[in-house]
Structure 1
């Protein structure tokens, strides 16, 4: 299957560079009182991605050698001709370079996406979601499982990068693949000694739903231990870092009722080791999970189940290629070192593991069902 690139006008990948990134750059420039040289660096990066060639990081960048290792011969070529997965990931690393995130000075370590992340936690929508937990707590266990798993799934639709150019959110329409029963079966079979690794995606509303699901796994005995993997640095607009976990936890504990109780349990679980927070440079790599480094593979291998959240993790899991949508999910994920579950709303061209009737139904809608975020899937490989 062909690797997805961005050189076809009006394709989804092309639109990310031509439509989404100019808006994103302007938002970053407006979010902070950056000096003129940062504005110039951001403008130059945008111009380079649209009409220039891919430049290397400065030789004194702390991760220069790492990105030299991750290069696959794309430096010096067109951004639009490089694999979309590789080029988009490198774009976010170059954003950090442009704003001085790693450089000594006043902007070192300041999350350029922080204002948007923090604003989302103060919305009425988040308030309503936290209040709704009181109702969920009164449901039978099977209904709690369904509600909280789907909250974590559809929370992925809160991705701030997706919303930059998406239409206003409408009602969710379709779960196009649902292996949730198999997910719970794997955990129940291992109980009371199940260990879950959760590779997070976005901060804000999605991370809030993820943490509530983690609390449910621990309090019901579906898992004895949860390892949460987050990004080591700001990435893809709203991806979760360790600082975002703390911000969301504080938001949960400040809510009334059931939410506050869950927040305090989560805080205690992080303290006593029932939840472990981890990160690794590879989570910001431009490569698929077939290139998992040995230390990360070794750390994850004992997991009863790894839950991968979001669109980017899905692309990295199965490969960012033009797979026929009927390609079996289990075939493409057989290499992964643990049983794996993907929870993902569809926001890019890649989709596999769908049945022919489902594809026929989706194609009949005459919408870009692969990229609108109106469809979602739960896929499991035991």
Structure 2
């Protein structure tokens, strides 16, 4: 899907494209990532945490490190033929404009180079031969260190009723789960009510949930855009209004997942609410096909987390165990599904998504919830947009309604009011990359 109309839908942004972000400007996050972080943070930790590398893998990792050390002059080379089903796509399509044309690690587009690093890493460690994740220990530690928070949240997943006509009550519930998926344990979860099971308890729970949402939204000065009300109104209208998809029987919500561990757990809490409330009849989790960006989630990471929670739940309440059983049942019945795809591991802008993915979302998905920084970068094509450019002008190509839940960890942004930008710059010189600021942006 490149620069033309398909099925009557505009498949590029409706405003002119600015240049892609590159990594050749000292002082930028992109420059620091390619010249320092990939080598001294990520590769160095891989060496410390893994002992399964054979001599060939060691040599390949050393060569990759040497290239990064001379990133300014080292040109990009093809992906080694490692048996990966995406190898031909990388060398013949993705890299075709850059191989043999003197593009270095710094002068090629930043998004391409960062994904290229992880694909080179997979070749170096023989991922497609051995299926051993060099980030596995970090992912498992992320789950194990979050057990207390996870079980605390399971206790707060009350027996959610079907959505009714009380819009104020329903909005509070949906927004609370959106904020949970966005912020995770950065929120004051002590304000989130524990399931009560009585009418009086339900009233108390609702009152506490209102307080939780108020604290997370109106009192949060680091939420630069908050379209959560618009997300609710859109989903509510699909239940009681005129919003429909081509398939009127489908009420599917898709989540393009970012990180494994606690963040994925919070995404699953949101999915639990969507199914239990009747807002959706199916939730699809879109996951990476191989390890990228250290903590990005694959299907194996999701099942590891569920299995570990079940193993550790013997000392927890019956309510916690019942919720975990229900999650298993959601997968068994098809109400929850997982989809891995190599597209999510590649640097394409989302307006270049394969026809099969785009058509499926257009025809069957009510809403795509897009998580995290790397997915947001690709939603915007990782280009030098003016930060005040309207979000809808950039993502107008998207095949269905989309909600981006993102904490800022790179220097790309659009759809933010100038006053908010000035405020953030005054409060935090690193506001674009610190992960402390966030947006909830919606377009339909």
Q: What's the TM-score, normalizing by structure 2?
A: 0.78
Is 2:120 aligned against 1:99?
no
Equivalent pair of 1:344/1:377 in contact (CA under 8 Å)? yes
For structure 2, list consecutive stretches of 5 or more residues without a partner in the other structure. Answer: 1-17, 161-168, 187-219, 241-249
Is 2:61 aligned against 1:42?
yes
Equivalent pair of 2:76/2:99 in contact (CA under 8 Å)? yes
Structure 1 range deviating more: 192-201 or 273-282 = 192-201
Equivalent pair of 2:171/2:232 in contact (CA under 8 Å)? no
Alignment of 1:75-94 (within 5 A): 75-76=99-100, 77-94=103-120
Q: How many angstroms apart in 1 are the aligned matches of 2:372 and 2:428?
A: 24
1:251 positional shift? 3.6
Alignment of 1:116-135 (within 5 A): 116-123=138-145, 125-135=146-156
Q: How many angstroms apart in 2 are the aligned matches of 1:310 and 1:359?
A: 20
Q: How many angstroms apart in 1 are the aligned matches of 2:61 and 2:226?
A: 41
1:286-316: per-residue Cα shift (whole Å, max 9, x none)?
A: 1111111111112222211011111011011
The structure-2 alpha-carbon separation of the partners of 1:130 and 1:60, relative to structure 1 and needing over 3 Å to count, comes to: closer
Q: Aligned-residue CA RMSD in angstroms?
A: 2.3
1:361-380: per-residue Cα shift (whole Å, max 9, x none)?
A: 11212511111000011100
Report the counterpart of residue 146 of structure 1 in structure 2.
175
Is 2:231 aligned against 1:214?
no
Equivalent pair of 2:251/2:366 in contact (CA under 8 Å)? yes
SS in 2 for 1:290: helix
Report the counterpart of residue 25 of structure 2 in structure 1.
8
The structure-2 alpha-carbon separation of the partners of 1:136 and 1:60, relative to structure 1 and needing over 3 Å to count, comes to: closer
Alignment of 1:287-298 (within 5 A): 287-298=348-359
Q: How many angstroms apart in 2 are the aligned matches of 1:288 and 1:247?
A: 30
SS in 1 for 2:386: coil
Equivalent pair of 1:7/1:14 in contact (CA under 8 Å)? yes
1:129 positional shift? 3.8
Q: How many angstroms apart in 2 are the aligned matches of 1:223 and 1:138?
A: 16
1:17-43: per-residue Cα shift (whole Å, max 9, x none)?
A: 222112211111121112343222112
For structure 1, list consecutive stretches of 5 or more residues without a partner in the other structure. Answer: 158-171
Report the counterpart of residue 166 of structure 1 in structure 2.
none
The structure-2 alpha-carbon separation of the partners of 1:155 and 1:91, relative to structure 1 and needing over 3 Å to count, comes to: farther
Q: What's the TM-score, normalizing by structure 1?
A: 0.90
1:142 positional shift? 4.1
1:259 positional shift? 3.8
Structure 1 range deviating more: 339-348 or 62-71 = 62-71
SS in 2 for 1:144: helix
Q: 1:74 aligns with which of 70, 86, 98?
A: 98
Alignment of 1:245-256 (within 5 A): 245-253=302-310, 254-255=312-313, 256=316
1:75 positional shift? 2.0
Report the counterpart of residue 261 of structure 1 in structure 2.
322
Higher gyration radius (CA): 2
Report the counterpart of residue 287 of structure 2 in structure 1.
230
Q: How many angstroms apart in 2 are the aligned matches of 1:225 and 1:329?
A: 27
1:156 positional shift? 10
Alignment of 1:334-353 (within 5 A): 334-353=396-415
SS in 2 for 1:102: helix
1:100 positional shift? 1.0
1:214 positional shift? 0.3
Q: How many angstroms apart in 2 are the aligned matches of 1:130 and 1:221?
A: 24
Equivalent pair of 2:288/2:345 in contact (CA under 8 Å)? yes
The structure-2 alpha-carbon separation of the partners of 1:47 and 1:343, relative to structure 1 and needing over 3 Å to count, comes to: same
Q: How many angstroms apart in 2 are the aligned matches of 1:213 and 1:23?
A: 32
SS in 2 for 1:277: strand
Is 2:214 aligned against 1:190?
no
Report the counterpart of residue 371 of structure 1 in structure 2.
433
Q: How many residues align?
A: 365
Q: How many angstroms apart in 1 are the aligned matches of 2:390 and 2:54?
A: 50
Equivalent pair of 1:250/1:263 in contact (CA under 8 Å)? no
1:215 positional shift? 0.6
Q: How many angstroms apart in 2 are the aligned matches of 1:231 and 1:151?
A: 22
SS in 2 for 1:137: coil
1:270-292: per-residue Cα shift (whole Å, max 9, x none)?
A: 11111111122111111111111
